[in-house]
Amino acid sequence: MKSEPDTFGIDDLYNKPTQTEHWDGVRNYQARNMMRDDMKLGDQVFFYHSNCADPGIVGIMEIVKEGYPDFLAFDPEDKHFDPKSDPENPRWMMVDVKYVRTLVRTISLKELRPLEELEGLELVKRGNRLSIMPVSKDQWDFILSLE
DNA sequence: GCCAACGTTGGC
DNA sequence: GCCAACGTTGGC
């Protein structure tokens, strides 16, 4: 899962009282579908810092609440408000994530991109802008072995 | 700040 | 249903 560290980084999650936060503001159908259908309680997730000096994987989180309506979409005052979503028929979903740990170092996109083992990883595909993407068990283990 | 890549919107 | 216009993402 990607987030911009200037907006909400791994340290912000760490500093939450319960080290837990809802992953709000996702307004992309593919990403929504993954939160709604694929992410299960206890699943581990990489925290990725995007749009910053050194984009890459910085930590690990865990799903502590499965997909439910993104209530910010209902709030006209909120920047993520979407008039087409309402409580009767919510268009956008989110999950709750909990901090697990920060990696001892950032595993940068630059470093991951050329690795043969990660061919097929969504993150390193050209032009990828998805903010949530799947990682296979093999890819996960391999990436962590680089830490 | 630039710009390529991509998703969404809306006229037709 | 096509596709041009537009807005956004995110690496660099």
Q: Which nucleotide is nearest to A50 (CA to C1')?
A: C10
Confidence of residue A56 (pLDDT cuts 50, 70, 90): very high
3-state SS, one letter per residue, for A3-70: ECHHHHCHHHHHCCCCCEEECCCCCCHHHHHHHHHHCCCCCEEEEEECCCCCCEEEEEEEEEEEEEEC
Q: CB of residue A28 closer than 7 A to nucleic acid strand B?
A: yes
Strand C positions closer than 7 A to protein CB: 8-12
CA–C1' A133–B4 (A): 21
Q: Which nucleotide is nearest to A28 (CA to C1')?
A: B7
Residue A75: what pLDDT? 85
State the nearest residue by CA to the C1' of C9. Answer: A129
Could you tell me if A27 and A113 are in contact, meaning their C-beta atoms sit under 8 angstroms apart?
no
Q: Which nucleotide is nearest to A2 (CA to C1')?
A: C10
DSSP state of A89: B
Dist CA A143 CA A93 (whole Å): 28
Confidence of residue A88 (pLDDT cuts 50, 70, 90): confident
For chain A, the average pLDDT equals 94
Q: CB of residue A53 closer than 7 A to nucleic acid strand B?
A: no
Confidence of residue A49 (pLDDT cuts 50, 70, 90): very high
**pLDDT(A89) > 90:** no
CA–C1' A127–B5 (A): 5
Domain boundaries, chain A: 2-139
**pLDDT(A128) > 90:** no
A2 alpha-carbon distance from chain centroid: 4
What architecture does CATH give domain A2-139? Roll (3.10)
Residues A39-68 have a mean pLDDT of: 96
pLDDT tens profile A93-121: 999 999 999 999 999 999 999 999 999 99
Confidence of residue A41 (pLDDT cuts 50, 70, 90): very high
Burial A64-79 (b: 16+ CB within 10 A, else e): bebbebbbbbbeeeee
Which pTM value belongs to this model? 0.93
Dist CA A97 CA A48 (whole Å): 13
CA–C1' A133–C2 (A): 30
